[in-house]
A and B are shown apart, each in its own frame.
Chain A
Amino acid sequence: MVKVRGLANVNAMGASGGINPEVSQSQCEVISNKRVGAYHHITLAAPTIAEHARPGNFVAISVGDMRSSMLLRRSFAIYQTVPRGPFGGTLEIIVAPHGPGSTWITQREPHEKLDVVGPLGNAFKIPKDPVRALLVGGGYGSAPLFSLAETLRQKNSRVEMAIGASTAERIFAPVEGKRSVHSLMIATEDGSLGSKGRVTDLFDNSLSAIDIVYACGPMAMLKALTEIGRKTGVLVQCAVEESMACGVGLCMTCVLPVRDSDGVIKMLRSCIEGPIFDGATVQWDGIGTIPPGTYGAPR
């Protein structure tokens, strides 16, 4: 497969909100594929991506070869990368087999190859000074939060994490990940692990002793956290899960209404301008609509 690096660095100059300048496309060998609860933890040999990925970035993986009947790439948040290890640089993702495409990916065995494009999208913004951070994950939305926790701790931040899911087997909280955080709270809707209820119930509308929230999960959870953040004056960085066809900014399917710095609502691509947005700028109630006043809305 073609592998051209560095071109985007030059071409992206002057372009705002362009594709991740570090993106590359490569055939990545599966190193391991392990079942973790309801998910699969897949490790890929991906030296170029591993070198450049930052917490919050994602990868887009094709399903089958060019004769596949499933044409659209599946996008996954990067769980973690190891730039230099026994297999060279590796990339790890957490995949839930919920459709035929993601199921195909979870069936790959070691030595098989996957066509991977990445790193894609923007990254979580990391404050320069130490902060008290709360990281909230819904289901396998916790996956990108562990490398974020690691980065925050290197800046001497205090990191609390909360993970919620419908049931225990949908909580992704690996032992090694738990070491990256100072505290971990878990909530399941059926009460099979941690507190019974939703993860947002854990905060009871208050965020005492928290400077910043980072969240990844379903839109309803992100919306609820943004609301809690608004009431308490805390910034909430949200990694959205919007359905993507290409992951690289071509198809315009993964858009959502976001208020830009000039106060104008625009339909922004979550693969290019996201997936991380300041929750306060996302028009959560307008998702699935073109909110009135949106730039270029039908008159």
Chain B
Amino acid sequence: MNNFDFATSLAHAKFPNPIFTASGCAANGRELSAFFRLSDIGAMVTKSVMSQPRSGRATPRMAETPSGMLNAIGLQGPGIDTFLKEDLPWLDANGARTVVSIAGESVEEFASLARKVRSAQGVSAIEVNISCPNVENRGLVFACDRNSAREVIEAVKRSVGNTVPIIAKLSPDVTDIVSIAEEVMNAGADGLAMINTLLGMVINTETMRPTLANKTGGLSGPAIRPVAVRAIYQVHRAMPDVPIVGMGGVITGNDAFELVLAGASAISVGTASFHDPSAALRIKGELESLLVARGFKSFTEAVGFAHRGEL
């Protein structure tokens, strides 16, 4: 196109462009690779993986909602050992830069997952998913409690040291997201991913019961984009040097631009991939054209641009 510099970085991890997939919306890459080369986007963020294989929840797991969807998958997955043996090497062989998302039910599980991921080949960063809303006990959402959030991030940091950046994934379902963000950064996180889904519910008016087998689920899609913009804006304002992977209902390059202006250093494309499996690659092209048209010389110049002139 020209000399526009589209590169971004999260702590010491470098990426040729800022468009990532979102955990849980891209499986582990094989399916999307039928639609575009995974190496063409900034990074592939894999589905949050746990220590053991996991069946996930009963169906129905999903309901369409206005400009969004509700899901309660329950972290169905192969378990970390199979993931590291089969999925990660495949991603590496296909040129993907991979952010491995991990999820645990205890501080120890997070620490042990992080240890295994640290020694694997082809990991650009670790996303620590402390905010999955689909857990049995809402008290277990680590990101909803400052102490729990800190304990997990400290344990993961002890496991990986400075070998690979740690990205803490935050929930918007808190009163003060800035205080949680500060807590995890002080605990050793290298960056933040936000926002995870919001807890919601749909009741089927035919059956007069909740639609999802799990009753509640995580709300995603354009319906939650203003919440993402607000959360990213608040956290960037408080900690302008902290890299943020922004996500929440990005469907177009212009939507991605909005999150960048709020302060995101990378953008994850989630639910949009269900609507259009080529979305991540399309959004990358749209965002680049838009930034060039607005006169930016590099992507990083635009990060947090909505804050200019603020005290």
Contact = CB atoms under 8 A, between A and B. Distances in A.
A71 B221 contact: yes
Given A2-B282, A8-B33, A288 B213 contact: yes
A253 interface: yes
Contacts of B56: 252, 255, 267, 290, 296
B155 to A, nearest CB: 23
A255 B76 contact: yes
A199 B45 CA distance: 47
B85 interface: no
Contacts of A166: none
A62 B275 contact: yes
A4 interface: yes
A197 B282 CA distance: 51
A66 B71 CA distance: 20
A255 B30 contact: no
B185 interface: no
Contact of A295 (B32, B55, B58, B94): B55
B310 interface: no
B86 to A, nearest CB: 9
Contacts of A107: none
Interface in A145-202: none
Most chain B Cβ neighbours within 10 Å, of A23, A251, A254, A294 = A251
Interface in B244-301: 251-252, 271-278, 281-282
A231 B251 CA distance: 51
A205 interface: no
A251 B67 contact: no
Contacts of A298: 55
Interface string B220-261: 011000000000000000000000000000011000000000
Contacts, number: 149
B59 A255 contact: yes
Interface string A263-299: 0001100001000000000000001111000111110
Interface stretch (A12-20, A31-39, A130-138): A12-20
Interface string B172-193: 0000000000000000000000
Given A11-B94, A255-B59, A296-B55, A250 B25 contact: yes
Contacts of B77: 296
A250 B273 contact: yes
Contacts of A242: 59
A8 B55 contact: no
A1 interface: yes
Given A62-B275, A245-B274, A250 B31 contact: yes
Contacts of A53: none
Nearest to B220: A71
A248 interface: yes
A25 interface: yes
A252 B61 contact: yes
B54 interface: yes
Contact of A243 (B54, B62, B278): B62
Interface stretch (B34-42, B117-125, B143-151, B162-170): B34-42
Given A7-B34, A255-B76, A66 B59 contact: no
A6 to B, nearest CB: 10
A4 B278 CA distance: 10
B64 interface: yes
A71 B77 CA distance: 24
A168 to B, nearest CB: 24
A123 interface: no
A57 B132 CA distance: 34
Interface in A21-54: 21, 23, 25
A288 B58 CA distance: 5
A289 B62 contact: no
A242 B59 CA distance: 10
A13 to B, nearest CB: 10
B161 interface: no
B273 A246 contact: yes
A11 B58 CA distance: 31
Most chain A Cβ neighbours within 10 Å, of B35, B60, B251 = B35
B271 to A, nearest CB: 6
Interface in A58-85: 62, 66-73
A114 interface: no
A295 B82 CA distance: 13
B79 A288 contact: no
Nearest to B249: A71
Interface string B50-78: 00111111111110101111010100110
Contact of A256 (B37, B59, B274, B275): B59
29 contacts: A7-B36, A12-B34, A19-B31, A25-B35, A62-B276, A69-B67, A71-B67, A71-B68, A71-B271, A71-B272, A72-B64, A243-B59, A243-B60, A246-B274, A248-B31, A250-B31, A251-B73, A252-B56, A252-B73, A252-B76, A253-B60, A253-B71, A267-B55, A267-B76, A272-B31, A289-B58, A290-B55, A294-B55, A296-B52
Closest 9 interchain pairs by CB? A8-B34, A296-B53, A246-B274, A253-B62, A249-B31, A296-B55, A2-B278, A296-B54, A11-B33
Given A8-B33, A66-B252, 8 more contacts: A4-B37, A7-B35, A62-B276, A68-B275, A73-B274, A249-B30, A253-B61, A296-B54
